[in-house]
Amino acid sequence: MSKIRFRAIIIVLVIVSLAGGFIFFRYFFTFEQRQQVRRSIDSVTGQNLTITVFGFDGRIVKRWVGIQKITSGRDKKGTGERNYTYFYTREGKYVQIPDSVWYIAEEE
């Protein structure tokens, strides 16, 4: 009888914990905090992106495949301005793209 009671208590605690976590992350996190959590999860799980850079005339200038993560630069002095995006290629090379350049990051 005590085993069934113990399991019931564990199940109830798990359900309450999941519900509490959902409510906390849904209603008490700002949008930026939720994005940071999503980005950190993506950092662990990785992505499989194709990044294409276009010229001003619409031609494809460069394309990279198999990119695991793409990141924006940090803001300058709290202004929220991020003027570049960077990532690492499969070969481990650092690539930085200024915001003045048109690019598309697509999942493969």
Count of CB atoms within 10 A of residue 70's CB? 18
Sign of CA dihedral 57, 62, 67, 73: negative
Residue 52 lies in domain: 46-108
Say what the pTM is: 0.52
Mean pLDDT of 2-21: 91
Beta bridge partners of 54: 60, 102
The answer to whether the CB of 103 falls within 8 A of the CB of 54 is yes
Is residue 25 domain-shared with residue 72, that is, in the same domain? Answer: no
As for how many domains the chain has, the answer is 2
pLDDT in tens, 27-77: 887 878 877 777 777 665 567 889 999 988 889 999 999 888 888 766 666
- Euclidean distance between the first and final Cα of the chain, in Å? 53
The answer to whether the CB of 51 falls within 8 A of the CB of 67 is yes
Is residue 61 domain-shared with residue 25, that is, in the same domain? Answer: no
Is residue 62 domain-shared with residue 94, that is, in the same domain? Answer: yes
